Structure 1
């Protein structure tokens, strides 16, 4: 038998060992690649499940595609954008008023005394400082009083007075609200025979009116001599939309929008500080020499900022609810496409004075009065303090008026009966619509001659919206 040489035998063994190692290496590589594929698949599926779960938890509504010009539809990145904006709001809140500009978690002022005053107006013609009061009671009385201050004495003044057995009374110039302050009243809420004055910060305001009112329904009816001596009082804290809206609700709203440089520019330029409070209206109202004592559950708000551009707003609705068991609150939805096409807002207070913010509103604007006529009998849900409530609404009166020097906004100010989880009540519901008819020329011709050039500046300023 022939034997291999030692060197040849070693080479033979080494060859097979190397081939075996090669086979094992290929096998291990294949196993690692397979394991890697499984890991990637598990990660992708896991992330997809988390993403889908987060999306489902956020529950974004999808408005019809043909209304996407006004109501933004959330994109695939919506959950991530919610997280980013949520962190932004929480960071701004943590700065405790030191953030750059008010809003989105940051206060406009540290002291309430600086909030509760006639605000210094910016130089732009659309600068705004506005107050609004509403009240309604079971005896059939209802009241809305509001005033917007703009630069150069331009003012909007509004009064609605619902009188039992007499109907709805309004100012003689209704539905036009344009008025002008006297030069000495430039820094006050005082125009059109109406004076509104802050007396004690976040506690007391006074409302005085002495002038004529007319029937809203009967244009030929005689005017009524009216005088209001009212105080708005409260012991409840105010609700500041800059800081008190739930961060997650705020983040969900702004994450719906397409994010670009123009979007964030609009957020800075068109922000307005807005805060609200629930309280009571007490005092007297005298009509043609007959004095009536008034005690109404009531609401008020105060807004101010560098610009209020009504032409940017598509729609909104605010419900001011006063129930017979003492509960009360505000529930609203705002659609301003340039910044936020669905912002759910509000706050709810028990009869014992305990309050919480509204975190979810079931009412879809595009399903309620998108054609320009608000519904008169409807229902929706809202969530506050983790409790979902059912609101039923029946409209008694639905007058309208216009705001802005060119009537850029049409307001339908409804006086309604509420029922929340079966508890009856009353109140106001304000519907806003973008208006394009313009203010009649015969009304413009009556404006002071000295304001003609300023009107041109007003009309040319701002916009860039819908």
Structure 2
């Protein structure tokens, strides 16, 4: 009896200590601008726990399945245009960013959603002609099929982007009008044909290859409350529903401008492919993203994301890619969102330091031009696209920057007036859901 009493007392003490520990880990750390957490008093303990869990999770999902995940069959499956499922949040996105020594810069992004909805944008910066952009911008929404039928291609609005060889070759075509920027905005007929080619199937998978230390740093800054543990229990499902990888390569081809003739283009760049069902822009507070292409043939991606609802209020991401195609994840960065454009206006100059396991890099950015676009079916966010020159450890380069902010103004009525009636019904139904109301006769097959 005495032994049982002692064991019960010890168990009670352990339970009490565990409860105290959970309470302490759930304390909210100091916040900058009420958004960005600093390192709390238990940061080191939480960092070590998070790092251990991340490494074990990645081993279970990726490392022990390397042969399967690296097979030609699997890569072909994830590289092609994806079939959008029944989930109304299903998405499939392919994007390209590129630049060269002459200062030419290209950004193309196409996001497929259900019922033939395509969200697309094209920016082309030519030093001799200035900035050209898609005619619908700042709106990105195109309707590519009759009566909202499903589509299986990255096609519409003058765009056609398609795969020619799995994980190696993609083709970018655009034929239509582009808007010129400057004092006088006018339409110009443009015919663009580019071929993206990578020297190998190597790529950077953000779920698999991002630095565990950087992710653990972000997680360790958060309050580990009941919502956090609930999210942790569903992390496997979340990972399965979100794929994002990038692959470096070369874009080559030509663009023909009405009245100006043909311009040959050859650029270093990368292709981004993202798909799944977990892409809710309305939950992102901010992000900043740099894609830099240097004169020595190397490239660099640096990002910082704030998504508090996902317990990633201050996540650093990125990698360096060597001229030979070797990817190294960033392991450190002093780029803090609150120091760059927090009030809604992106800076024209940025200087920051990032690190890999092998080297430290001083990055210096100078903005040459910029443009604004709105993303999401109801313009949930706005993105400032910047076209930049850069210097990294003394090596010159060119590239792109994106600054995303929340936008609460909605998609203007004059922009939405030309939408098909079925899409207008869907958007009204979505708004009624957001107000916890029901609208009689609304189509339940909606799109976020």
TM-score, with length taken from structure 1: 0.79
Is the CA contact (8 Å cut-off) linking 2:29 and 2:222 kept in structure 1?
Answer: no
For the residue of structure 1 that corresponds to 2:47, the secondary structure is: helix
Matched with 2:140 is 177
Is the CA contact (8 Å cut-off) linking 1:126 and 1:462 kept in structure 2?
Answer: no
Question: Alignment partner for residue 186 of structure 2, among 219, 222, 241?
Answer: 222
Matched with 1:84 is 49
Matched with 1:383 is 355
Cα separation, partners in 2 of 1:207 and 1:296, compared to 1, 3 Å: same
Confirm whether residue 335 of structure 1 aligns to residue 306 of structure 2. yes
Cα separation, partners in 2 of 1:270 and 1:448, compared to 1, 3 Å: farther
* Further displaced range: 303-312 or 266-275: 266-275
Distance 1:457 1:261 in 2: 32
Distance 2:434 2:350 in 1: 36
Distance 1:409 1:258 in 2: 26
Distance 1:462 1:343 in 2: 28
Question: Alignment partner for residue 67 of structure 1, among 33, 37, 50?
Answer: 33
Distance 1:461 1:355 in 2: 43
Shift of 1:65: 3.5
Matched with 1:121 is 84
Distance 1:95 1:119 in 2: 25
Matched with 2:389 is 417
Cα separation, partners in 2 of 1:203 and 1:265, compared to 1, 3 Å: farther
Q: Kindly report the root-mean-square deviation, in angstroms, between the aligned alpha carbons of the 2 structures.
A: 2.7
Question: How far does the alpha carbon of each residue in 1:29-60 deviate from its partner, in whole angstroms, 9 at most, with x for none?
Answer: xxxxxxxxxxxxxxxxxxxxxxxxxxxxxxxx
Question: Alignment partner for residue 203 of structure 2, among 233, 238, 247?
Answer: 238
Is the CA contact (8 Å cut-off) linking 1:108 and 1:273 kept in structure 2?
Answer: no
Shift of 1:453: 2.2
Alignment of 1:6-405 (within 5 A): 65-68=31-34, 70-97=35-62, 111-182=74-145, 186-218=151-183, 220-236=184-200, 237-265=202-230, 268=235, 272-288=242-258, 290-339=261-310, 340-405=312-377
Distance 1:356 1:336 in 2: 24
Shift of 1:217: 2.9
For the residue of structure 2 that corresponds to 1:398, the secondary structure is: strand
Cα separation, partners in 2 of 1:98 and 1:428, compared to 1, 3 Å: closer
Is the CA contact (8 Å cut-off) linking 1:315 and 1:431 kept in structure 2?
Answer: yes
Distance 1:75 1:107 in 2: 38
Is the CA contact (8 Å cut-off) linking 2:382 and 2:405 kept in structure 1?
Answer: yes
Cα separation, partners in 2 of 1:191 and 1:343, compared to 1, 3 Å: same
Q: Which has the larger radius of gyration?
A: 1
Question: How far does the alpha carbon of each residue in 1:57-89 deviate from its partner, in whole angstroms, 9 at most, with x for none?
Answer: xxxxx9974523x21233333222222222222
Matched with 1:435 is 407
Cα separation, partners in 2 of 1:314 and 1:463, compared to 1, 3 Å: farther
Distance 1:326 1:385 in 2: 20
* Further displaced range: 381-390 or 266-275: 266-275
Shift of 1:172: 1.4
Is the CA contact (8 Å cut-off) linking 2:192 and 2:256 kept in structure 1?
Answer: yes
Distance 2:411 2:309 in 1: 24
For the residue of structure 2 that corresponds to 1:382, the secondary structure is: strand
Distance 2:308 2:70 in 1: 24
Distance 1:137 1:434 in 2: 31
Cα separation, partners in 2 of 1:190 and 1:423, compared to 1, 3 Å: same
Question: How far does the alpha carbon of each residue in 1:8-27 deviate from its partner, in whole angstroms, 9 at most, with x for none?
Answer: xxxxxxxxxxxxxxxxxxxx
For the residue of structure 1 that corresponds to 2:81, the secondary structure is: coil
Shift of 1:378: 2.0
Question: Alignment partner for residue 444 of structure 1, among 402, 413, 416?
Answer: 416
Is the CA contact (8 Å cut-off) linking 1:309 and 1:463 kept in structure 2?
Answer: no
Shift of 1:264: 5.0
Distance 2:254 2:95 in 1: 19
Structure 2 gaps of 5+ residues are: 1-27, 437-448
